[in-house]
Amino acid sequence: MQGDRGHLLVANVGSDDVSVFAVTAEGLSLIGTSPSGSPAPRSLAERDGPVCVLNTGKPSINGFRLADTGLVPVVGAEHPLSAENADPAQVGFTPDGRMLIATERGTDSVVAYEVGTDGVLGAPVAISSSGPGRVVGWDPRHGRGPRRELSRGPRAWSRCTA
């Protein structure tokens, strides 16, 4: 759900695109569908117009702007992750919007990008995680640290600090 609660953004891993819906009192209305920029979009984040899509087919983050007709690609806004085997899981902006965070299960890392005033991402900084399990996500809304997968099955998730 977009910050103003006026749009819902959906990553469509099967068709390699992102759908943008308008949220109205009557329900959802499809505004448009845009290619995600790379195969297999898994996660996306929006903050005041800029949208970042995390792709797993070619581990990368692609940048877009939210427009009336859907998503518009930002030229030069494809950013590789830290490794080909990154196996990315989640992307999100920090609460203040100054950083974009991506989690990489394959490298057991959290990758941080500074966000410029124009929405363009800076160079990635990979932070290796420590502890049992592997990093699978994080909760940007409440300032909680990364979540780890400790085992398979019920109650397999744990919150921890990287």
AA letter at 139: D
Q: What strands lie across the sheet with 27-35, from one edge to the other?
A: 7-12, 17-24, 27-35
CA dihedral 70, 100, 136, 161 (to 10 degrees): -150
Provide the pLDDT confidence category of residue 21 given band limits of 50, 70 and 90. Answer: very high
In tens, the pLDDT along 70-100 reads 899 988 888 889 888 999 989 999 888 889 9
Residue 63 near residue 51 (C-beta atoms within 8 A): yes
Best CA proximity match to 132, nearest among 142, 143, 145, 147: 147
Q: Write 98-101 long-range contacts (CB < 8 A, 24+).
A: 100/45, 100/52, 100/61, 101/138, 101/140
- Give me the sheet containing 157-159, strands edge to edge: 134-139, 144-149, 157-159
So what's the architecture of 7-159 in CATH? 7 Propeller (2.130)
**What's the pLDDT tens digit per position in 22-75?**
998 999 999 999 999 899 999 999 988 889 999 999 999 999 998 888 899 988
Residue tagged 């921890």 (tokens)? 160
Least confident of 42-51, 69-78, 126-135, 139-148: 139-148
pLDDT bracket for residue 154 (50, 70, 90): very low
Q: Which two tokens stand for residue 76?
A: 């030069």
